[in-house]
Amino acid sequence: MYEWLGDFHQRCDGINSGRDDYFRLAPQGATAAELALVEDCLGVELSPSHRAFLSGWDGLDLMGSRIFSTGDILAGLDDIPFAPFEGSLERRSQDLLASTKLCGTYLYYGDMPAYQFICRSFDTTGIVYCLDTHHTNYGEYGVCKYDPEYDFEHHLQQHFPSFEAMLLWDVMMFALDDMADVVGDSLLDLSDDEADQIICEFATWAIAVKTQLIQRGAQISADYQVNWSHWQ
């Protein structure tokens, strides 16, 4: 599913930006035992697209964010309660992002989301992305935003219908929007023509990823607004 990510990473690495936080895949995938341990601790199966990623590369640093490894996921269970703990389970409804039909009912323990586990964090904020195991679509879990600094109505906004959708979208936007910065930080002595050629090369990567997204049902406008309601 993600074989092309290895080539993408190798090409990014070849630019030699001197920074690891632009795009850095883990050097190897999680073992079957590590994946089984995560599922055992969670009490649920990993979604197919998430499992496929972790099997190939156990973690990714991407533009100031961290897509969690198996070890990160287990450590994150201490931050957001996944299984029941003291307190009653509450069912609350939201009508967020209704235009994309990504809204629904979520379970909470007090003000902490239940049945969500962290899959991604961001360096400069407290925001995390969680996978919502209470709602499934062909075995896939939606990716929700949880921001502990805001009140309930801002919690658990679902941004992507699956882990795969999140990964494809953010790699595409990285290739489109951030390559000028990556090339600008390169330790190589690049001419202007060489720098422009690299930026154009990654724009071609972005088009290929965009094609994958559209084939899966994402509706992407000319200004890169997206509607996920037809995602399959």
Model confidence pLDDT, tens digit, residues 92-105 = 555 444 433 444 55
What would the mean pLDDT of 40-58 be, rounded to a whole number? 93
Q: Is residue 201 part of a domain?
A: no
pLDDT, greater one: 83 or 74: 74
pLDDT exceeds 70 at position 181: yes
CATH number at residue 40: 3.40.1580
pLDDT at 96: 43
Residue with tokens 């920074």, as numbered in its chain: 19
Q: Is residue 17 part of a domain?
A: no
Q: Any idea what DSSP says for residue 100?
A: G
Tens digit of each residue's pLDDT (9 = 90 or more) over 163-179: 999 999 999 999 888 88
pLDDT at 231: 93
CA distance 78 to 220: 37
pLDDT at 107: 58
pLDDT, greater one: 97 or 214: 214
What would the mean pLDDT of 53-74 be, rounded to a whole number? 93
What would the mean pLDDT of 49-77 be, rounded to a whole number? 92
pLDDT exceeds 80 at position 130: yes
Q: Is residue 18 part of a domain?
A: no
Q: Is residue 123 part of a domain?
A: yes
As for how many domains the chain has, the answer is 1
Q: Is residue 58 part of a domain?
A: yes
Domain extent for 72 = 29-162
pLDDT at 105: 59
Q: Is residue 152 part of a domain?
A: yes
Q: Is residue 222 part of a domain?
A: no
Q: What sign does the CA torsion over 43, 114, 50, 11 have?
A: negative
Q: Is residue 158 part of a domain?
A: yes
Q: 76: pLDDT confidence band, cut at 50, 70 and 90?
A: confident
| The model's pTM | 0.83
- 179-212 burial, b if ≥16 CB within 10 A, otherwise e? beebbeebeeebeeeebeebeeebeebbeebbee
β-pairing, 89-93 vs 226-227, is unpaired
